[in-house]
Amino acid sequence: MVYICRIELNDINPKIWREFRFHPEVTFHQLHKIIQTVMGWENYHLYEFHVNEKVFGLPDPTFTDMEDHEVLNARREIVQKHVNEEDTVFTYVYDFGDDWKHTITLIKIDSVTVSDHAPLCLGGARSCPQEDVGGVWGHQHMLEVLFTSNHPERDQFIDWIREGYDPEYFSCEEVNLELQKQKDKLIPKSLLQRPSGKKPVKITKSALNKHLKQLGNDQLIELVKACYSASKEMEKFLSVKILGDEAVESLFHEYRKKIENEFFPERGHGKLRLQEAKHAISEFQRLTGSVKYSLELKLIYVEMGVSFTLNYGDIDERFYYSMASMYADIIGIVNDDETAELFDEYEERIEEIISKTEGIGWGFHENLADLHAQLRWI
C-alpha cells in the first residue's frame, strides 16, 4: 500500500505544489523529511503537523509549560494511524518565524505492491522559496526586486540568494535522486534490511586497555596517527591533548565563528539554526572540557540572540525559551564555581544581557531577570 498526496504552499500564486507517494507507516517526522526534500526546503527550522485538531511536532521540555496545546511526538506517531481516508486534508507548518503553511491532501490510497519503498515525487511546479526570506510577503518582495532591473535592492538580493536560483525551476528527477539517497531514513524501520543474527561489534574500555598494553611504541604511534587521520573531530581532540591551551583557544575562535554566523553571517541574513549553534557549543565542550570557554560560547549565543532581536524585532516563543534555557546554563555554571572567578570575570556581561532585554516580548526579560536573581554571588 502507498499514500499519494498533493502538497501546496499556501498564499502564493502561481501555486508551488508537489505530488508524491510514500509508505503510510512512516512517522510524522519521516514525513517532515520527505516534504523537506520534495518541496526543496533545507530543514533549518522547527515544524508542526495539524491533523484533525491534533498537533504533531518535536516536543521540547523547555517549552512544555508555554504550549497552549498538546504536541504529540512526531518521531513516534505513525501517519496511517491519524490519516487513513482519501481526501483527508491536513496542514504542515514549517519555520515558525516565516510561518510557511502547506496544505496536504491525501488524494489516493493505492493498494499496489511496490518493490521499492522509497518515497517518490510524481510531479510538481515552481521552485520552493528561499529559506529565511521573510515568509510570503518577503518572498513576493524578493521576486519583485529580482525582476525589476533598476531596483535599488537588486544587487543585495542577488548576493544573498542561493546560486542558480530560478523561481520557475522544478525537476522531479533531481528530487527523486535525493529521495533515493535518503531512502533508509524515509521508510518505516520495519522495512529496513538488517543483517540477522549479528550483534554490533564494540570494544569495551577494559578490552581496549588490555590491547594497548600489548602494543609496542611504534605500534602505538601508528595507532595514534591513524586516529588523527580518521576524522576532523579526532584531529581537534588530539590537538587539544597535545598542544593544550593553544589549541583550545584556537578552537574557541573557530566555534565562536560558527555561532555568530547563525545570527550575523558576513554575507546574507542569519539562518537562526539554533540547533546548529547549540551543537557547536556541545561539540566544543566535549572536545576540550574547558568550562571557561564553554561558558563564553554560551554567553555569545545569548548575546547574539538578544542582538538579533534588537536589530530585527521580536522572533517567537521558542526562540526566547531557547535563549532562556542557555542563560539558565550560564547561571548554573557560574554558581558551581566555588572560587567565584567566573562570576568576577563575567558578571558585567551576564547583567548587561538583562538590561538589553527590557521591552522584548514573550516574558523574555522577566524570565532572565528571575534566573539572574539566582546567582549565589549577588
- How do residues 39-77 score in pLDDT, each as one tens digit? 999 888 889 999 999 999 987 655 544 455 689 999 999
Q: What angle do CA 213, 214, 220 make, to 5 degrees?
A: 75
15-41 tens-digit pLDDT = 999 999 999 999 999 999 999 999 999
| pLDDT score of 65 | 46
Cell triple for 273: 539554526
- Return the amino acid letter for 351: E
Does residue 186 surpass a pLDDT of 90?
yes
Helix pair 317-336, 291-312: axis angle to 10 deg: 150
Beta carbons within 8 Å of 165's beta carbon, 6+ residues apart: 127, 130
pLDDT at 197: 61
The total number of residues written for the chain in this structure: 378
pLDDT at residue number 161:
81
Nearest by Cα to 263 from 315, 201, 198:
315
Phi/psi for 37 (5° steps) reads -75, -45
Contacts of 192 by beta carbon, 8 Å cutoff, 6+ apart: 184
What does the pLDDT read at residue 268?
75
Which pLDDT score is estimated for 90?
Answer: 98
Three cell numbers, residue 198:
549479528
Q: What percent of the chain has pLDDT over 90?
A: 66
In eight-state DSSP terms, residue 314 is -
- Backbone phi, then psi, for 143, in 5-degree steps? -60, -40
Q: State the average pLDDT over residues 83-106.
A: 95
CA-CA-CA-CA torsion sign (34, 40, 42, 44): negative
Report the pLDDT value the prediction gives residue 198, as an integer from 0 to 100: 65
Q: At 277, which helix (H) or strand (E)?
A: helix 274-288
Residue 118: CB atoms within 10 A of its CB come to 19
Cα 142 from Cα 161, distance rounded (Å) = 9
CB within 8 Å of 296: residues ≥ 6 apart: 252, 256, 346
CB 7 within 8 A of CB 125: no
pLDDT of residue 361: 83
pLDDT at residue 239 is higher than 90:
yes
Lowest model confidence (mean pLDDT) among 64-73, 156-165, 311-320, 366-375: 64-73
